Chain A
């Protein structure tokens, strides 16, 4: 019977890989996700076969029912603008599960002395369990803080204890690893004291909280990817400890995926992952300085009617969305405007920077929700050559990803970051609530450009007004 379980696990992880391969194109992606879900169902059935002689059916069924009841409603109802926090939350509970599994194993095996899953020395299994405990707890608490920041239960700006932050984090990390070492050594002889195991979970948890708190809103795409990678790796470690190949493969693939995304995001900001995790940089534009007058530079304000006239007589318009679009939930309004423009024969494209928004690909999902076609969304490298022959570029709630100082000013903190060359288009209309700076508190020379006009106000309202004016023309 165990051969059957093993075989089903192999079928399951093959389906995960086939399913994820489907995500390489939008057309095959829906089916890919369903294949992965079916693989999960098979792995689940295999596990139930494996534990068929258990006496705990009542608890298992009750827990599954509660999980389904809690899990489905938010997944079905969440607004697309709130997907980042939901993903953070789901990621957190996954990490929490891993930490609890390690804890459960610890209790079940009397402080790991009774760990006899495989023949031979148990030390590697103990190490895998302890790794799972540390990373699982860190990922759980880190994700919870990320969720609270994104949900604005906690402020999005960096919260830190200043210079003490790094030494404190180092102490927490060494402390949890030290407690794990004690548990590991004791498990070889008498069995470890549960207090030490609790110490691992608590210190790793505090480390998770202290690591994510000082990270600003704009760095969230990196943090969410990183936490995703960590949960995947901890799942793989738990799989090693439990000798479960489906968990090993699935966890490792998620770890690889999270690592790739973390790297891509960090590269798109021209910063190292380490410096982002060190935190204190990304303020998310929460505290803006009013600077409509920047020395002799003055930002020119415009009206919806003027903007509409410019747009109506353009050949090509590029829309550059940012987090502001998500906050104002302006995606449908933008699509309506694009429809009116397209009816007039104007070509409308969307330029999407990898770190626009709060998670990788955030803007793409919002625009897809508003029925913008996949082919109209362009990546930085594909569209940067087009700005020079674009009549009007509309920047909606994006700031730093359009900052030309990243190209031209070696003194700028974001110098070298790949940006959208919005300033090269013939006219730029920037939709913004006020003149606040972006996440790094950096002035954006784009706003004072000769071709640039500012349309102040709520993005959704501004776009709707422009659409009305367009219809009236």
Chain B
């Protein structure tokens, strides 16, 4: 029970941190923010790994469910980070009026 209460405390605190950090993100970056946070909730793949990995002699249904869950979670994480990276690379600040190579 102690660890559960400690986890609830972590939950509440991270909610406040989330609000504080995300409030500062400008409108322009809202799509990358959304796709970036989308990739971060792909962390659920860890949960799928844990459920399957800690089961002794997992039954066939559990194996199937876990397989699909790990595939879904991996798609979420990998796809999310890749598409966010692509998007962010396109945002450039104005270097005079002409382009300067090598600015990310």
Chain A interfacial positions (CB closer than 8 Å to B): 13, 16-17, 19-21, 23-27, 29-30, 32-34, 36-37, 40, 43-44, 47-48, 50-51, 54-56, 59-60, 62-64, 66-68, 70-72, 74-76, 78, 80, 83, 86-87, 90-91, 93-94, 96-98, 100-101, 103-105, 107-108, 118-121, 124-125, 224-225, 228, 231-232, 235-236, 238-240, 242-261, 264, 342, 352, 354, 359-362, 364-365, 368-369, 371, 373-377, 379
**Interface pair A108/B62, CB less than 8 Å apart:** yes
Cβ contact of A246, chosen from B43, B54, B73, cutoff 8 A: B43
Q: Mark B25-65, 1 if CB is under 8 A from A, else 0.
A: 11111111111111111111111111111110111011101
How far is B17's CA from A360's CA once the two chains are assembled, in angstroms? 21
Name the prevailing secondary structure of the A interface residues: helix
A84–chain B nearest beta-carbon distance, Å: 8
Nearest B-chain residue to A66, judged by Cβ: B71
Cβ contact of B104, chosen from A20, A30, A118, cutoff 8 A: A30
Given contacts A78-B83, A93-B75, 10 further A-B contacts (CB under 8 A): A50-B53, A56-B52, A64-B74, A67-B75, A91-B41, A235-B44, A253-B14, A254-B38, A256-B19, A374-B94
Nearest A-chain residue to B40, judged by Cβ: A250
Name the prevailing secondary structure of the B interface residues: helix
How far is B89's CA from A96's CA once the two chains are assembled, in angstroms? 29
**Interface pair B18/A246, CB less than 8 Å apart:** no
How many A-B contacts at CB < 8 Å in the complex?
385
**Interface pair A342/B1, CB less than 8 Å apart:** no
How far is B89's CA from A418's CA once the two chains are assembled, in angstroms? 31
A352–chain B nearest beta-carbon distance, Å: 7
Residues of chain B within 8 A (CB-CB) of A257 are 18, 22, 33-34, 37
Residues of chain B within 8 A (CB-CB) of A375 are 93-94
**Interface pair B38/A365, CB less than 8 Å apart:** no
**Interface pair B79/A74, CB less than 8 Å apart:** yes
Nearest A-chain residue to B62, judged by Cβ: A107
**Interface pair B24/A75, CB less than 8 Å apart:** no
Nearest B-chain residue to A225, judged by Cβ: B34
Question: What are 28 contact pairs spanning A and B, CB under 8 A?
Answer: A30-B85, A36-B40, A55-B58, A59-B66, A62-B67, A63-B70, A63-B71, A66-B71, A68-B74, A76-B82, A90-B76, A94-B76, A101-B47, A225-B34, A228-B34, A228-B37, A228-B41, A232-B37, A242-B51, A247-B47, A251-B43, A251-B44, A252-B15, A260-B23, A261-B30, A359-B34, A362-B31, A365-B32
Nearest B-chain residue to A375, judged by Cβ: B94
How far is B90's CA from A118's CA once the two chains are assembled, in angstroms? 46
